[in-house]
Amino acid sequence: MNSAQSQLSNQLNLQQQQGVKQFLTFIMADEEYGVDILTVQEIRSWEEITVLPNAPEFVKGVINLRGTIVPIIDLRLRFGLPSTDYGPLTVVIVIKIEFEQGSKIIGIAVDAVSDVYSIVEQDAKAVPSLSESNNCEYVAGLVNVGDKMVALIDLQKTMNI
Protein backbone atom coordinates (compact mmCIF):
# COMPACT_ATOMS: atom_id res chain seq x y z
CA MET A 1 0.00 0.00 0.00
CA ASN A 2 2.66 2.38 1.12
CA SER A 3 5.01 1.50 -1.64
CA ALA A 4 2.22 1.74 -4.16
CA GLN A 5 1.40 5.14 -2.84
CA SER A 6 4.95 6.34 -2.99
CA GLN A 7 5.26 4.93 -6.45
CA LEU A 8 2.22 6.85 -7.47
CA SER A 9 3.47 10.05 -5.95
CA ASN A 10 6.84 9.47 -7.59
CA GLN A 11 5.13 9.09 -10.87
CA LEU A 12 3.15 12.24 -10.26
CA ASN A 13 6.30 14.09 -9.35
CA LEU A 14 7.98 12.87 -12.45
CA GLN A 15 5.05 13.93 -14.52
CA GLN A 16 5.04 17.32 -12.91
CA GLN A 17 8.72 17.72 -13.62
CA GLN A 18 8.11 17.00 -17.23
CA GLY A 19 5.25 19.48 -17.24
CA VAL A 20 2.64 16.78 -17.65
CA LYS A 21 -0.72 17.64 -16.17
CA GLN A 22 -3.96 15.82 -16.16
CA PHE A 23 -6.98 17.59 -17.52
CA LEU A 24 -10.62 16.73 -17.20
CA THR A 25 -12.40 17.52 -20.43
CA PHE A 26 -16.04 18.20 -21.06
CA ILE A 27 -18.25 18.88 -24.03
CA MET A 28 -20.04 22.10 -24.77
CA ALA A 29 -21.74 22.67 -28.12
CA ASP A 30 -19.73 19.77 -29.62
CA GLU A 31 -16.43 21.31 -28.62
CA GLU A 32 -14.11 19.87 -26.01
CA TYR A 33 -12.76 21.99 -23.16
CA GLY A 34 -10.35 21.03 -20.40
CA VAL A 35 -9.74 22.07 -16.81
CA ASP A 36 -6.88 21.06 -14.52
CA ILE A 37 -8.12 17.95 -12.80
CA LEU A 38 -6.64 19.02 -9.47
CA THR A 39 -9.12 21.87 -9.29
CA VAL A 40 -12.10 19.56 -9.71
CA GLN A 41 -13.88 18.76 -6.45
CA GLU A 42 -16.72 16.64 -7.71
CA ILE A 43 -19.11 16.10 -10.55
CA ARG A 44 -22.83 16.39 -9.89
CA SER A 45 -25.99 16.18 -11.86
CA TRP A 46 -28.20 19.18 -12.39
CA GLU A 47 -30.46 19.94 -9.48
CA GLU A 48 -32.93 22.56 -8.44
CA ILE A 49 -31.26 25.89 -8.02
CA THR A 50 -32.01 29.08 -6.14
CA VAL A 51 -31.98 32.06 -8.43
CA LEU A 52 -29.99 35.11 -7.39
CA PRO A 53 -31.71 38.42 -8.00
CA ASN A 54 -30.16 40.76 -10.54
CA ALA A 55 -27.31 38.37 -11.27
CA PRO A 56 -25.61 38.29 -14.66
CA GLU A 57 -27.28 35.89 -17.06
CA PHE A 58 -24.54 33.29 -16.87
CA VAL A 59 -24.90 33.01 -13.09
CA LYS A 60 -27.75 30.56 -12.81
CA GLY A 61 -28.04 30.72 -9.05
CA VAL A 62 -26.77 28.93 -5.98
CA ILE A 63 -27.03 25.42 -4.62
CA ASN A 64 -26.47 23.86 -1.24
CA LEU A 65 -23.35 21.77 -1.39
CA ARG A 66 -23.37 20.04 1.99
CA GLY A 67 -23.94 23.25 3.86
CA THR A 68 -21.89 25.54 1.66
CA ILE A 69 -23.56 27.93 -0.72
CA VAL A 70 -22.05 27.41 -4.16
CA PRO A 71 -22.85 29.51 -7.23
CA ILE A 72 -23.51 27.75 -10.50
CA ILE A 73 -22.20 29.25 -13.72
CA ASP A 74 -23.61 28.34 -17.11
CA LEU A 75 -20.40 28.09 -19.08
CA ARG A 76 -22.25 28.20 -22.36
CA LEU A 77 -23.59 31.64 -21.56
CA ARG A 78 -20.25 32.73 -20.16
CA PHE A 79 -18.62 31.81 -23.45
CA GLY A 80 -21.34 33.47 -25.46
CA LEU A 81 -22.73 30.20 -26.76
CA PRO A 82 -26.47 29.63 -27.09
CA SER A 83 -27.99 28.22 -23.94
CA THR A 84 -29.69 24.85 -23.84
CA ASP A 85 -32.30 23.38 -21.56
CA TYR A 86 -31.17 21.84 -18.35
CA GLY A 87 -32.07 18.26 -17.87
CA PRO A 88 -30.98 15.23 -15.94
CA LEU A 89 -28.08 14.88 -18.37
CA THR A 90 -26.68 18.32 -17.66
CA VAL A 91 -23.55 17.99 -15.58
CA VAL A 92 -22.24 20.34 -12.93
CA ILE A 93 -18.50 20.24 -12.36
CA VAL A 94 -17.62 21.66 -8.98
CA ILE A 95 -14.23 23.30 -9.05
CA LYS A 96 -12.10 25.07 -6.52
CA ILE A 97 -10.29 28.10 -7.85
CA GLU A 98 -7.51 29.95 -6.11
CA PHE A 99 -7.94 33.70 -6.19
CA GLU A 100 -5.78 36.32 -4.58
CA GLN A 101 -8.38 36.82 -1.86
CA GLY A 102 -8.62 33.09 -1.21
CA SER A 103 -10.17 30.11 -2.86
CA LYS A 104 -13.72 29.90 -4.09
CA ILE A 105 -15.83 26.90 -4.90
CA ILE A 106 -17.91 27.32 -8.02
CA GLY A 107 -20.02 24.91 -10.03
CA ILE A 108 -19.99 25.03 -13.81
CA ALA A 109 -22.81 23.59 -15.83
CA VAL A 110 -21.67 21.87 -19.03
CA ASP A 111 -23.27 19.54 -21.60
CA ALA A 112 -21.35 16.39 -20.68
CA VAL A 113 -18.10 15.21 -19.17
CA SER A 114 -15.75 13.64 -21.69
CA ASP A 115 -12.42 12.21 -20.61
CA VAL A 116 -9.20 12.69 -18.67
CA TYR A 117 -6.04 13.39 -20.65
CA SER A 118 -2.44 13.78 -19.65
CA ILE A 119 -1.20 16.84 -21.39
CA VAL A 120 2.21 18.47 -21.46
CA GLU A 121 1.40 22.06 -20.69
CA GLN A 122 4.15 23.43 -22.87
CA ASP A 123 2.51 21.82 -25.86
CA ALA A 124 -0.43 24.15 -25.52
CA LYS A 125 -0.57 26.70 -28.29
CA ALA A 126 -1.70 30.22 -27.78
CA VAL A 127 -5.13 31.15 -29.01
CA PRO A 128 -4.86 32.99 -32.30
CA SER A 129 -5.73 36.55 -31.42
CA LEU A 130 -7.54 37.36 -34.59
CA SER A 131 -10.96 37.83 -33.22
CA GLU A 132 -12.04 40.80 -31.22
CA SER A 133 -14.49 38.62 -29.38
CA ASN A 134 -13.90 38.66 -25.66
CA ASN A 135 -14.56 34.96 -25.29
CA CYS A 136 -11.03 34.02 -26.28
CA GLU A 137 -9.52 35.50 -23.17
CA TYR A 138 -11.02 32.67 -21.14
CA VAL A 139 -8.99 30.09 -23.03
CA ALA A 140 -5.44 29.62 -21.78
CA GLY A 141 -4.31 27.54 -24.74
CA LEU A 142 -5.16 24.92 -27.31
CA VAL A 143 -3.74 21.40 -27.42
CA ASN A 144 -4.16 18.50 -29.76
CA VAL A 145 -5.12 15.16 -28.37
CA GLY A 146 -5.05 12.66 -31.18
CA ASP A 147 -6.99 14.36 -33.93
CA LYS A 148 -9.12 16.38 -31.54
CA MET A 149 -8.52 19.86 -30.30
CA VAL A 150 -9.04 20.69 -26.64
CA ALA A 151 -9.32 24.25 -25.33
CA LEU A 152 -7.80 24.63 -21.90
CA ILE A 153 -9.77 27.04 -19.78
CA ASP A 154 -8.20 29.81 -17.76
CA LEU A 155 -10.37 29.35 -14.67
CA GLN A 156 -9.18 32.45 -12.84
CA LYS A 157 -10.24 34.67 -15.69
CA THR A 158 -13.40 32.79 -16.48
CA MET A 159 -14.66 32.76 -12.94
CA ASN A 160 -13.66 36.26 -12.00
CA ILE A 161 -17.25 37.28 -11.52
Interaction site with other proteins (CB under 8 A)? 48, 50-55, 59, 61-64, 67-71, 104-106, 161
Please identify, using beta-carbon distances, which residue of 3 and 54 lies nearer to other proteins.
54
Cβ of residue 143: shortest distance to other proteins, in angstroms? 29
Bridge partners, 155 (sequence order): none
- Size (the chain), residues: 161
Please identify, using beta-carbon distances, which residue of 20 and 62 lies nearer to other proteins.
62
Cβ of residue 58: shortest distance to other proteins, in angstroms? 13
User: CA 119, CA 144: separation in Å to the nearest integer?
Assistant: 9
Residue 67 Rama label (left phi>0; alpha psi -120 to 50; beta): left
Cβ of residue 16: shortest distance to other proteins, in angstroms? 28
Helix (H, G, I), strand (E, B) or coil at 57: coil
User: CA 66, CA 60: separation in Å to the nearest integer?
Assistant: 19
Cβ of residue 2: shortest distance to other proteins, in angstroms? 29
Cβ of residue 85: shortest distance to other proteins, in angstroms? 17
Please identify, using beta-carbon distances, which residue of 20 and 44 lies nearer to other proteins.
44
Please identify, using beta-carbon distances, which residue of 48 and 147 lies nearer to other proteins.
48
Please identify, using beta-carbon distances, which residue of 30 and 48 lies nearer to other proteins.
48
Q: For residue 29, which of 84, 68, 97 has the smallest C-alpha distance?
A: 84
Cα–Cα distances in angstroms (integers) from residue 31 to residues 10, 84, 140, 144, in the given order: 34, 15, 15, 13
